[in-house]
Chains A and B, each alone.
Chain A
Amino acid sequence: GENVEQHPSTLSVQEGDSAVIKCTYSDSASNYFPWYKQELGKRPQLIIDIRSNVGEKKDQRIAVTLNKTAKHFSLHITETQPEDSAVYFCAAPGGTSYGKLTFGQGTILTVHP
């Protein structure tokens, strides 16, 4: 099955700085790479995703890059704000045809004002 490794486990930045979270995956058949944000006490919610036919996708201050050769993908947050503080999870489906996702271990991002 798919194995997803996520780093770092914790990340602390000053407001206005950039933050980068990286994930590697094992199954070359994976073709969909979502990122979820979970605020304290809330449910995880999708913030951005990328499919394997593109190398980068942006949505305002967040972007995801994908390197299929190296089997890794990254979340980039620019001009961080305190409300970006949350746990972020990456995921990949592996070769399954049922929409199952394997999640990374999570990154606790803290943005200091």
Chain B
Amino acid sequence: DVKVTQSSRYLVKRTGEKVFLECVQDMDHENMFWYRQDPGLGLRLIYFSYDVKMKEKGDIPEGYSVSREKKERFSLILESASTNQTSMYLCASSLWDRGNPYEQYFGPGTRLTVT
């Protein structure tokens, strides 16, 4: 059974703070993803990683960076948190076979509030 965990369920930070969101998966998946979920906007991809130290920008990368030093761990970093980054953040992981997307397994989410 795939398990994807996130470091915090709820987080409150102040404007300008540096924020780290951590995600860990235990199924040796190559791919890991960070999404932002806002009502009416669906799941928007911030960044994804297809291998250790490899990353690609998603649809809304501005204001975010990521780090993947180990295969099982993918971190999302808000360099200087702003109020418009208040949102639900979801991490996911999946297998990858060239040309064939597979099911994404999601973490429980982190509700981030920036005040």
Residues of chain A having any CB pair with chain B under 8 Å: 1, 6, 9, 31-32, 34, 42-46, 49, 89, 93, 97-106
Contact = CB atoms under 8 A, between A and B. Distances in A.
Interface string B12-37: 00000000000000000001010100
Given A97-B99, A100-B48, A101-B101, A43 B109 contact: yes
Interface of B: 31, 33, 35, 40-45, 48, 50, 56, 58-59, 90, 94-96, 98-104, 106-109
Contacts of A104: 42
A59 to B, nearest CB: 14
A104 B104 CA distance: 15
Given A97-B98, A100-B56, A101-B101, 20 more contacts: A6-B42, A9-B40, A31-B99, A43-B90, A43-B107, A44-B90, A45-B106, A46-B103, A89-B42, A93-B101, A99-B96, A99-B100, A99-B102, A100-B48, A102-B45, A102-B59, A103-B35, A104-B42, A105-B42, A106-B43
A97 B31 CA distance: 11
A23 B42 CA distance: 13
B54 to A, nearest CB: 9
A32 B104 CA distance: 12
Nearest to B58: A100
Given A1-B59, A98-B48, A103 B42 contact: yes
A100 B100 contact: no
